[in-house]
Amino acid sequence: MIADYHTHTRYSHGKGSVEDNVLAAIAGGFRRVAITDHGPGHKFYGVRLEKFESMRREIDAMNAKYAGRIEVLLGLELNLISLGGETDYPSGRAELFDFFLMGYHRGVFPRSGLLSFTILKRAPEAISRNTRAVCRALDRYPIDIVSHPGEYIPLDITLLAKAAVKSGAALEINASHPAITPEQIRLAKAEGALFALSSDAHTPGRVGDFGAAERLAAEAGLTEEDIVNAEGLAGERFWERIRARRGTSD
Protein backbone atom coordinates (compact mmCIF):
# COMPACT_ATOMS: atom_id res chain seq x y z
CA MET A 1 0.00 0.00 0.00
CA ILE A 2 1.47 3.34 -1.03
CA ALA A 3 -1.22 5.85 -0.07
CA ASP A 4 -4.06 6.52 2.32
CA TYR A 5 -6.66 8.60 0.49
CA HIS A 6 -9.11 9.06 3.38
CA THR A 7 -8.09 10.72 6.67
CA HIS A 8 -9.70 13.36 8.89
CA THR A 9 -8.32 16.21 10.98
CA ARG A 10 -9.65 18.84 13.35
CA TYR A 11 -11.00 20.71 10.30
CA SER A 12 -13.98 18.35 10.72
CA HIS A 13 -14.16 15.93 13.65
CA GLY A 14 -10.74 14.31 13.57
CA LYS A 15 -8.50 14.60 16.60
CA GLY A 16 -5.18 15.63 15.02
CA SER A 17 -3.76 18.36 12.83
CA VAL A 18 -2.88 18.09 9.15
CA GLU A 19 0.80 17.82 10.11
CA ASP A 20 0.04 15.02 12.62
CA ASN A 21 -1.50 12.96 9.81
CA VAL A 22 1.37 13.78 7.47
CA LEU A 23 3.97 12.70 10.02
CA ALA A 24 2.03 9.49 10.72
CA ALA A 25 1.94 8.72 6.99
CA ILE A 26 5.69 9.37 6.65
CA ALA A 27 6.35 7.08 9.62
CA GLY A 28 4.19 4.43 7.93
CA GLY A 29 6.30 4.66 4.76
CA PHE A 30 3.55 6.03 2.50
CA ARG A 31 4.19 8.04 -0.66
CA ARG A 32 0.95 10.00 -0.45
CA VAL A 33 -1.63 10.94 2.13
CA ALA A 34 -4.90 12.79 1.62
CA ILE A 35 -6.67 15.05 4.06
CA THR A 36 -10.36 14.50 3.37
CA ASP A 37 -12.52 16.26 5.92
CA HIS A 38 -16.31 16.29 5.72
CA GLY A 39 -18.10 18.49 3.19
CA PRO A 40 -19.85 21.67 4.39
CA GLY A 41 -23.29 20.04 4.10
CA HIS A 42 -22.84 18.19 7.36
CA LYS A 43 -24.64 19.83 10.29
CA PHE A 44 -22.17 18.90 12.99
CA TYR A 45 -18.74 18.46 11.50
CA GLY A 46 -18.69 19.78 7.97
CA VAL A 47 -15.69 21.98 7.11
CA ARG A 48 -16.73 25.61 7.24
CA LEU A 49 -16.57 27.30 3.84
CA GLU A 50 -14.36 30.09 5.16
CA LYS A 51 -11.72 27.46 6.05
CA PHE A 52 -11.22 26.23 2.48
CA GLU A 53 -8.47 28.70 1.58
CA SER A 54 -6.52 28.21 4.78
CA MET A 55 -6.73 24.42 4.36
CA ARG A 56 -5.28 24.76 0.87
CA ARG A 57 -2.47 26.96 2.17
CA GLU A 58 -1.72 24.47 4.93
CA ILE A 59 -1.53 21.57 2.45
CA ASP A 60 0.76 23.60 0.18
CA ALA A 61 2.99 24.40 3.16
CA MET A 62 3.15 20.70 4.09
CA ASN A 63 4.17 19.81 0.53
CA ALA A 64 6.93 22.41 0.66
CA LYS A 65 8.13 21.31 4.10
CA TYR A 66 8.13 17.57 3.37
CA ALA A 67 9.04 17.70 -0.34
CA GLY A 68 10.71 14.49 -1.44
CA ARG A 69 9.37 12.59 1.54
CA ILE A 70 5.63 12.51 0.91
CA GLU A 71 2.97 14.11 -1.25
CA VAL A 72 -0.01 15.60 0.59
CA LEU A 73 -3.37 15.94 -1.14
CA LEU A 74 -6.37 18.01 -0.21
CA GLY A 75 -9.64 16.19 -0.76
CA LEU A 76 -13.14 16.61 0.59
CA GLU A 77 -15.58 13.90 1.67
CA LEU A 78 -18.77 15.13 0.02
CA ASN A 79 -22.20 14.36 1.46
CA LEU A 80 -25.08 13.00 -0.56
CA ILE A 81 -27.90 15.43 0.20
CA SER A 82 -30.81 14.49 -2.05
CA LEU A 83 -32.42 11.57 -3.78
CA GLY A 84 -31.61 13.31 -7.05
CA GLY A 85 -27.93 12.76 -6.36
CA GLU A 86 -27.04 16.28 -5.25
CA THR A 87 -24.03 16.70 -2.97
CA ASP A 88 -22.37 19.58 -1.14
CA TYR A 89 -19.76 19.84 -3.92
CA PRO A 90 -18.14 23.28 -3.56
CA SER A 91 -19.07 24.75 -6.93
CA GLY A 92 -16.87 27.70 -7.80
CA ARG A 93 -14.17 26.63 -5.33
CA ALA A 94 -13.63 23.06 -6.41
CA GLU A 95 -10.22 24.03 -7.82
CA LEU A 96 -8.94 24.31 -4.25
CA PHE A 97 -9.27 20.53 -3.91
CA ASP A 98 -7.22 17.78 -5.52
CA PHE A 99 -9.95 15.16 -5.51
CA PHE A 100 -13.28 14.14 -3.99
CA LEU A 101 -14.76 11.31 -1.98
CA MET A 102 -18.53 11.08 -1.68
CA GLY A 103 -20.80 9.13 0.62
CA TYR A 104 -24.00 9.20 2.56
CA HIS A 105 -23.78 10.38 6.19
CA ARG A 106 -26.43 10.95 8.79
CA GLY A 107 -26.81 14.49 10.07
CA VAL A 108 -26.63 16.35 6.78
CA PHE A 109 -28.68 19.35 5.69
CA PRO A 110 -31.08 17.67 3.25
CA ARG A 111 -31.95 19.36 -0.01
CA SER A 112 -35.03 17.25 -0.67
CA GLY A 113 -36.56 13.90 0.14
CA LEU A 114 -33.78 12.88 2.48
CA LEU A 115 -36.15 11.17 4.89
CA SER A 116 -36.51 8.43 2.35
CA PHE A 117 -32.91 7.45 2.99
CA THR A 118 -33.48 6.82 6.65
CA ILE A 119 -37.08 5.60 6.89
CA LEU A 120 -37.96 2.12 5.61
CA LYS A 121 -34.39 1.72 4.58
CA ARG A 122 -34.63 -2.02 4.27
CA ALA A 123 -37.56 -1.93 1.85
CA PRO A 124 -36.65 -3.18 -1.65
CA GLU A 125 -37.69 0.14 -3.19
CA ALA A 126 -35.35 1.93 -0.75
CA ILE A 127 -32.39 0.00 -2.16
CA SER A 128 -33.15 1.08 -5.72
CA ARG A 129 -33.86 4.65 -4.61
CA ASN A 130 -30.58 4.87 -2.69
CA THR A 131 -28.61 3.32 -5.52
CA ARG A 132 -30.13 5.69 -8.06
CA ALA A 133 -29.20 8.66 -5.88
CA VAL A 134 -25.56 7.57 -5.52
CA CYS A 135 -25.27 6.74 -9.25
CA ARG A 136 -26.70 10.14 -10.16
CA ALA A 137 -24.12 11.81 -7.95
CA LEU A 138 -21.40 9.92 -9.85
CA ASP A 139 -22.87 11.32 -13.08
CA ARG A 140 -23.06 14.87 -11.81
CA TYR A 141 -19.75 15.41 -10.00
CA PRO A 142 -16.07 14.50 -10.47
CA ILE A 143 -16.07 11.91 -7.68
CA ASP A 144 -12.94 9.79 -7.34
CA ILE A 145 -13.90 7.44 -4.49
CA VAL A 146 -17.31 6.34 -3.17
CA SER A 147 -16.94 6.34 0.64
CA HIS A 148 -17.99 3.23 2.56
CA PRO A 149 -20.67 1.96 0.13
CA GLY A 150 -23.45 0.17 2.02
CA GLU A 151 -22.83 1.97 5.32
CA TYR A 152 -26.00 3.70 6.67
CA ILE A 153 -27.99 2.99 3.50
CA PRO A 154 -28.16 -0.32 1.61
CA LEU A 155 -27.21 -0.24 -2.08
CA ASP A 156 -27.35 -2.49 -5.13
CA ILE A 157 -23.65 -3.17 -5.50
CA THR A 158 -23.82 -4.37 -9.10
CA LEU A 159 -25.57 -1.21 -10.33
CA LEU A 160 -23.23 0.94 -8.27
CA ALA A 161 -20.19 -0.85 -9.71
CA LYS A 162 -21.42 -0.31 -13.28
CA ALA A 163 -21.87 3.42 -12.63
CA ALA A 164 -18.47 3.65 -10.92
CA VAL A 165 -16.72 1.94 -13.84
CA LYS A 166 -18.38 4.41 -16.21
CA SER A 167 -17.42 7.47 -14.16
CA GLY A 168 -13.96 6.25 -13.16
CA ALA A 169 -14.65 6.28 -9.42
CA ALA A 170 -13.18 3.62 -7.13
CA LEU A 171 -15.31 1.90 -4.50
CA GLU A 172 -14.00 2.16 -0.99
CA ILE A 173 -13.26 -0.68 1.40
CA ASN A 174 -13.19 1.31 4.61
CA ALA A 175 -11.35 -0.02 7.67
CA SER A 176 -13.46 2.09 10.05
CA HIS A 177 -16.80 1.26 8.38
CA PRO A 178 -16.33 -2.21 6.88
CA ALA A 179 -19.89 -2.38 5.58
CA ILE A 180 -19.15 -3.98 2.22
CA THR A 181 -19.05 -7.80 2.21
CA PRO A 182 -16.56 -10.05 0.39
CA GLU A 183 -19.45 -11.23 -1.79
CA GLN A 184 -20.29 -7.64 -2.76
CA ILE A 185 -16.63 -6.96 -3.49
CA ARG A 186 -16.54 -9.98 -5.81
CA LEU A 187 -19.74 -8.83 -7.57
CA ALA A 188 -18.32 -5.32 -8.05
CA LYS A 189 -15.01 -6.69 -9.30
CA ALA A 190 -16.88 -8.81 -11.85
CA GLU A 191 -18.21 -5.53 -13.29
CA GLY A 192 -14.67 -4.21 -13.55
CA ALA A 193 -14.76 -1.96 -10.49
CA LEU A 194 -11.59 -0.79 -8.78
CA PHE A 195 -11.26 -0.35 -5.03
CA ALA A 196 -9.61 2.02 -2.57
CA LEU A 197 -8.60 0.66 0.81
CA SER A 198 -8.90 3.46 3.38
CA SER A 199 -8.25 3.94 7.05
CA ASP A 200 -10.81 6.77 7.40
CA ALA A 201 -8.55 7.71 10.32
CA HIS A 202 -9.99 10.22 12.78
CA THR A 203 -6.82 10.10 14.90
CA PRO A 204 -3.25 10.35 13.60
CA GLY A 205 -2.42 6.94 15.06
CA ARG A 206 -4.86 5.28 12.67
CA VAL A 207 -3.48 6.83 9.46
CA GLY A 208 -2.53 3.98 7.13
CA ASP A 209 -4.21 1.37 9.32
CA PHE A 210 -6.15 -0.67 6.76
CA GLY A 211 -6.79 -3.66 9.09
CA ALA A 212 -10.40 -4.69 8.46
CA ALA A 213 -10.27 -3.42 4.87
CA GLU A 214 -7.25 -5.57 4.07
CA ARG A 215 -8.92 -8.64 5.51
CA LEU A 216 -12.05 -8.02 3.38
CA ALA A 217 -9.96 -7.45 0.26
CA ALA A 218 -7.99 -10.64 0.88
CA GLU A 219 -11.13 -12.65 1.52
CA ALA A 220 -12.62 -11.38 -1.74
CA GLY A 221 -9.44 -12.33 -3.63
CA LEU A 222 -8.41 -8.82 -4.70
CA THR A 223 -4.87 -8.21 -5.95
CA GLU A 224 -2.79 -5.01 -6.18
CA GLU A 225 -4.24 -4.50 -9.66
CA ASP A 226 -7.72 -4.07 -8.21
CA ILE A 227 -6.63 -1.46 -5.66
CA VAL A 228 -5.96 2.18 -6.55
CA ASN A 229 -3.76 2.89 -3.53
CA ALA A 230 -1.57 -0.18 -3.92
CA GLU A 231 1.67 -0.32 -5.88
CA GLY A 232 0.77 -1.22 -9.47
CA LEU A 233 -0.85 -0.09 -12.69
CA ALA A 234 -4.27 0.59 -11.19
CA GLY A 235 -2.61 2.89 -8.67
CA GLU A 236 -0.61 4.64 -11.37
CA ARG A 237 -3.71 5.29 -13.47
CA PHE A 238 -5.66 6.61 -10.52
CA TRP A 239 -2.81 8.94 -9.64
CA GLU A 240 -2.60 10.12 -13.27
CA ARG A 241 -6.29 10.96 -13.18
CA ILE A 242 -5.88 13.09 -10.06
CA ARG A 243 -2.77 14.77 -11.43
CA ALA A 244 -4.46 15.55 -14.74
CA ARG A 245 -7.33 17.23 -12.93
CA ARG A 246 -4.90 19.24 -10.78
CA GLY A 247 -2.99 20.24 -13.89
CA THR A 248 -6.06 21.72 -15.56
CA SER A 249 -7.19 23.62 -12.49
CA ASP A 250 -3.82 25.26 -11.77
Can you give the binding site for Zn ion, defined by CB under 5 A?
77, 103, 147, 200
Supply the minimum distance, in Å, between the C-beta of residue 190 and Zn ion: 26
- The nearer residue to Zn ion, 107 or 192, going by C-beta atoms, is 107
Q: How far is CA 155 from CA 127, 219, 240, in A?
A: 5, 21, 29
- The nearer residue to Zn ion, 68 or 89, going by C-beta atoms, is 89
Supply the minimum distance, in Å, between the C-beta of residue 47 and Zn ion: 12
Supply the minimum distance, in Å, between the C-beta of residue 52 and Zn ion: 18
Supply the minimum distance, in Å, between the C-beta of residue 149 and Zn ion: 11
- The nearer residue to Zn ion, 11 or 52, going by C-beta atoms, is 11
Supply the minimum distance, in Å, between the C-beta of residue 168 and Zn ion: 20
- The nearer residue to Zn ion, 77 or 156, going by C-beta atoms, is 77
Supply the minimum distance, in Å, between the C-beta of residue 199 and Zn ion: 9
Query: Backbone phi, then psi, for 61, in 5-degree steps?
Result: -65, -40
- The nearer residue to Zn ion, 124 or 205, going by C-beta atoms, is 205
DSSP secondary structure, the chain, as one string: --EE--B--TTTT-SS-HHHHHHHHHHTT-SEEEEEEEPTTBTTTPPPGGGHHHHHHHHHHHHHHTTTT-EEEEEEEEEB-BTT--B---TTTGGG-SEEEEE--SSB--SB-THHHHTTTTSHHHHHHHHHHHHHHHHHS---EE-STTSSS---HHHHHHHHHHHTPEEEEESSS--S-HHHHHHHHHTT--EEEE--BSSGGGTT--HHHHHHHHHTT--GGGBTTSSSHHHHHHHHHHHHHHHHH-
- The nearer residue to Zn ion, 186 or 196, going by C-beta atoms, is 196
